Amino acid sequence: MESFFKVRKPQEVLAMLDRFGPCGEETLHLDDAFRRVLSRDLVSPEDLPGFCRATMDGYAVRAKDTFGASEGLPAFFQVTGEIRMGEIPRRSVGQGEAMRISTGGMLPGGADGVVMIEYCQPLDSETIEVSRTISPLENVIQPGDDIQKGSLVLPVGHRLRPQDLGVLAGLGFEQVPVFREPKVAIISTGDEVVPVEADPKAGQVRDINRYTLGAFCRANGAIPVFKGICPDNFERLKSLVEEGLEKADVLWLSGGSSVGTRDLTLAVFKTFDDFELMVHGISISPGKPTIIARIGGKPVVGLPGHVASALIVAEVFMAPLLANLSGAKEIDGPHGRRVMARLSRNIESKSGREDYIRVRLEREKGELKAEPLFGKSGLISPLVEGNGMVKVDVNTEGLYEGDLVEALLFR
Amino acid sequence: MESFFKVRKPQEVLAMLDRFGPCGEETLHLDDAFRRVLSRDLVSPEDLPGFCRATMDGYAVRAKDTFGASEGLPAFFQVTGEIRMGEIPRRSVGQGEAMRISTGGMLPGGADGVVMIEYCQPLDSETIEVSRTISPLENVIQPGDDIQKGSLVLPVGHRLRPQDLGVLAGLGFEQVPVFREPKVAIISTGDEVVPVEADPKAGQVRDINRYTLGAFCRANGAIPVFKGICPDNFERLKSLVEEGLEKADVLWLSGGSSVGTRDLTLAVFKTFDDFELMVHGISISPGKPTIIARIGGKPVVGLPGHVASALIVAEVFMAPLLANLSGAKEIDGPHGRRVMARLSRNIESKSGREDYIRVRLEREKGELKAEPLFGKSGLISPLVEGNGMVKVDVNTEGLYEGDLVEALLFR
């Protein structure tokens, strides 16, 4: 077995992954752009609103005509009509005049404010009594008040949320430029691995990683390209890696819980001319035996074989890598999936590495409680019981019951 | 204008929405089941692992042969072979014998533990020195240690995450029973609304809600069915509502910022024989003028016209409704999207209603800071600047700078 001769600290690994950039651009209709990442700054082509609008139901008036009006001393207005939604008002408002207007309606000429319906009392069909003074522009938004023509609406690298799509629709962006979703070639390796539909013999296990890593890609805005299961065979693995690199932007090879596979992975990577080894081991647990290299400018990654380790390496390093390949400025949307939680038990850890402990997060009296899930190494059920993980920093020897810790939520 | 005669408290509304259940079942391949909701309890058809497996690289031995071994007084073992991955070991381990084994390999007969490679020193090609005592079953998992045959793997109502799919693959579930995704008919109403591709005239605005609500559906595991824009016309709206109810499981009609549209919505709903009005106004702000009814067992909802109000009503009430229609036990996955944050400014509120304030959440010294986004009513840009919202409870008159508050993260 080759020992890990380029063991890196997590921060170093993350810095290296920043070398990789977005995969390309495409243009999509708004209907297809949810969760996609903008590839350009979007600048507003027009003012929003485009005209002076009421923000309340009421009467459009000249504000100064209400000055001094109060419940004890109301002002009287002559109602000269009603403004229809979506139409330009047919007349202007003069001194002492008012027009009925609904929220979103266009203000008539002459008017510079809206008195809310609550403060208007009809006296007869043509007269209202106004019991409140309004200031100019009250209950009104003017052209550009919301978004000004020429201003930056959303920046490159922003992942589009429902409200972003709405605002873009409001500004007339029917199509938007976005980065292409990265394609991830996924290969599961190991002589013991059989497909889900197989009936495993003693000694064999079904391919768990394909499904876990495939869905992980989808959760991170990437497209999995499954290349199947590869036995521990040099030629077969080499040809699968070649195929994967042709069809995808990044290649994940998982497996190699056995020593033979680990060595094989690296041996195969090394046969490529433009191979550059970046990381051979990371000082985290679980997940140390991770290999990250570059072939022809594309990242190729050897993930640990055990699904728990593979998923933690994916959360910690592959999510940022996919964000880089997607052009996304933020990995998990604007807020991240990091929450503060109160630890329910002590966690021991070895200094010199980052430890990731699976936890079960539960809400208790308005606070999140993190219950560490211990158990024999090699189990997969804690991943299903758990809904997040807590990091124990490299220079910490453990965390204590009652500590407020940061947890990364699983998806 | 009809006044709101069935104004309900938010908790009452949520309780009413619990009357609606899942839309139906279907069976999907694991590749298509990410984020879908299980429609049945899944019980394990077999033990996992199915055989006794090593969880470390090392040597399989009889544990008792190591008793007393230490660095000062190592035990000697005869190496009788290597266990190949995926295969049944060809021979058993006898007293004083050891077989080389990799993580995931099948334990040979006779062996009941694995000594980690680090504690094994080869002396010659057939002999190793072991410097550590192991206990029986150390570094080994036995059949069913992870998941027992007949045990509940995942319950009905669980939304499938990457690791869940992995575990299901490990147990041989190639297909899984899930609830159908609810279909949501979406209609935007109002004489002033024009499609995104139109060049709005003065007084007109583009359809913002279609895109916001459509993506909101997708974010909540539902399928939007767009029925287009409807002017304030009784017959036209009635026929669109009929069509929508035929094709979808729930109908959302947004618009009615104008008084006329609000009345029209209710008038149209009332023409259906099996119409039952559930909610006519909710004591929240924004979002009060919300109508929820039931036609032929399907929920029909009149959402506010302004996108900010519509999105908040969607987050607070429509997400739980879609969870009910999806059969999901948890609205936002296992953890929710609720985080604790420190308020950066005072928020005033009227007692007697729940207020939802848009906030910008930012991480500051390991804590989330929530900056309230105030501004004129009727603006949409705060939705884009914001990434969450804070609730001010019905009996609270406000929140103070420095308060630790719960924020709901936008998607």
Tens digits of per-residue pLDDT, A78-123?
Answer: 999 999 999 999 999 999 999 999 999 999 999 999 999 999 999 9
Beta bridge partners of A124: A127
Distance from CA of A273 to the nearest CA of B (A): 30
- Angle of helix B234-247 relative to helix B259-270, nearest 10 degrees, comes to 60
Determine the residue among A52, A163, A309 to mutate to test chain B binding: the one whose Cβ has the most chain B Cβ atoms within 10 Å. A163
Name residues 356-375 of chain B within 8 A of A (Cβ): 361, 363, 366-368
A72 CB near a chain B CB, below 8 Å? Answer: no
Name residues 136-165 of chain B within 8 A of A (Cβ): 139, 141, 145-147, 153-154, 160-165
Residue intervals in chain A for CATH 3.90.105.10? 25-48+145-179
B388 CB near a chain A CB, below 8 Å? Answer: yes
Q: Are A250 and A324 in contact (CB under 8 A)?
A: no
Instruction: Choose among B163, B170, B381: nearest Cβ to A146.
Output: B381
Q: Which residues of A touch B336 (CB under 8 A)?
A: 363
Q: Tell which residue, B139, B124, B146, has the closest CA to residue B46.
A: B146
Superfamily of domain B10-24+180-326: MoaB/Mog-like domain (3.40.980.10)
Instruction: Choose among B160, B261, B378: nearest Cβ to A55.
Output: B378
Q: How far apart are CA B95 and CA B78, in angstroms?
A: 9
Distance from CA of A122 to the nearest CA of B (A): 14
Provide the pLDDT for residue A137: 95
Residue intervals in chain A for CATH 2.40.340.10? 338-409
How many beta-carbon pairs below 8 A join chains A and B? Answer: 319
Burial group, residue A406, by CB count within 10 angstroms (0-12, 13-18, 19+): middle
- Could you tell me whether strands B205-206 and A140-141 are parallel, antiparallel, or unpaired per DSSP bridges? unpaired
Residue of B nearest to A338 (CA): B339
Residue of B nearest to A52 (CA): B203
B192 CB near a chain A CB, below 8 Å? Answer: yes
Provide the pLDDT for residue A257: 53
Q: Would you call A196 and B56 a contact, using CB atoms and an 8 Å cutoff?
A: no
Model ipTM value:
0.93
A135 CB near a chain B CB, below 8 Å? Answer: no
Provide the pLDDT for residue A258: 57
Q: Are A255 and A305 in contact (CB under 8 A)?
A: yes
Distance from CA of B274 to the nearest CA of A (A): 31
Q: Which residues of A touch B106 (CB under 8 A)?
A: 202-203
Instruction: Choose among A104, A258, A335: nearest Cβ to B409.
Output: A335
Residues in chain B: 411
Q: What stretches in chain B show pLDDT beneath 50?
A: 1-2, 333-335
Q: How far apart are CA A22 and CA A324, in angstroms?
A: 6
Domain A25-48+145-179 falls under CATH 3.90.105.10: yes
Determine the residue among B335, B363, B371, B393 to mutate to test chain A binding: the one whose Cβ has the most chain A Cβ atoms within 10 Å. B335
Q: Would you call B258 and A203 a contact, using CB atoms and an 8 Å cutoff?
A: no
Residue of B nearest to A382 (CA): B146
Q: Which residues of A touch B166 (CB under 8 A)?
A: 208-209, 211-212, 307, 311, 380, 383
Instruction: Choose among A51, A203, A388: nearest Cβ to B335.
Output: A388
For A8, phi and psi rounded to 5 degrees?
-115, 155
Looking at domain A338-409, which CATH architecture does it have? Beta Barrel (2.40)
Name residues 233-292 of chain B within 8 A of A (Cβ): 257-261
Q: What is the CA angle A83-A84-A90, rounded to 5? A: 55
Q: Which residues of A touch B192 (CB under 8 A)?
A: 85-86, 104-105
Longest dimension (CA), chain B: 95
Distance from CA of B273 to the nearest CA of A (A): 31
Q: Would you call A141 and B376 a contact, using CB atoms and an 8 Å cutoff?
A: yes
Determine the residue among A4, A51, A194, A211 to mutate to test chain B binding: the one whose Cβ has the most chain B Cβ atoms within 10 Å. A211
Instruction: Choose among A34, A86, A410: nearest Cβ to B161.
Output: A410
Q: How far apart are CA B257 and CA B307, in angstroms?
A: 10
Q: Which residues of A touch B147 (CB under 8 A)?
A: 380-381
Provide the pLDDT for residue B263: 81
Q: Which residues of B touch A196 (CB under 8 A)?
A: 30, 169, 172-174
Provide the pLDDT for residue B71: 94
Provide the pLDDT for residue B113: 97
Provide the pLDDT for residue B5: 66
- Angle of helix B10-17 relative to helix B319-326, nearest 10 degrees, comes to 20
Residue with tokens 């022809």: A296
Task: Render pLDDT for B20-41 as a digit per residue (tens, 0 to 9).
Answer: 999 999 999 999 999 999 999 9
Q: Are B177 and B25 in contact (CB under 8 A)?
A: yes
Extract the tokens encoding B130.
């072991």
Residue intervals in chain A for CATH 3.40.980.10? 10-24+180-326
CB-based contacts of A19: which residues, under 8 Å, 6+ apart?
none
A3 CB near a chain B CB, below 8 Å? Answer: no
pLDDT in tens, chain A (411 residues): 445 667 899 999 999 999 999 999 999 999 999 999 999 999 999 999 999 999 999 999 999 999 999 999 999 999 999 999 999 999 999 999 999 999 999 999 999 999 999 999 999 999 999 999 999 999 999 999 999 999 999 999 999 999 999 999 999 999 999 999 999 999 999 999 999 999 999 999 999 999 999 999 999 999 999 999 999 899 999 999 999 999 999 999 998 655 666 788 999 999 999 999 999 999 999 999 899 999 999 999 999 999 999 999 999 999 999 999 999 997 664 445 777 889 999 998 887 889 999 999 888 877 789 999 987 777 888 888 888 899 898 888 889 999 988 888 887
B53-141: CATH topology is Molybdopterin biosynthesis moeA protein; domain 3 (2.170.190)
Extract the tokens encoding A154.
């959303």
Q: How far apart are CA A5 and CA A354, in angstroms?
A: 18
Q: Which residues of A touch B171 (CB under 8 A)?
A: 206
CB-based contacts of B98: which residues, under 8 Å, 6+ apart?
B59, B60, B61, B77, B78, B79, B80, B115, B120, B128, B130
Name residues 299-358 of chain B within 8 A of A (Cβ): 305-307, 311, 333-336, 338-340
Q: Which residues of B touch A162 (CB under 8 A)?
A: 211-216, 219, 311, 410-411
Residue intervals in chain B for CATH 2.170.190.11? 53-141
Q: Would you call A30 and B196 a contact, using CB atoms and an 8 Å cutoff?
A: yes
Instruction: Choose among A55, A86, A206: nearest Cβ to B376.
Output: A55
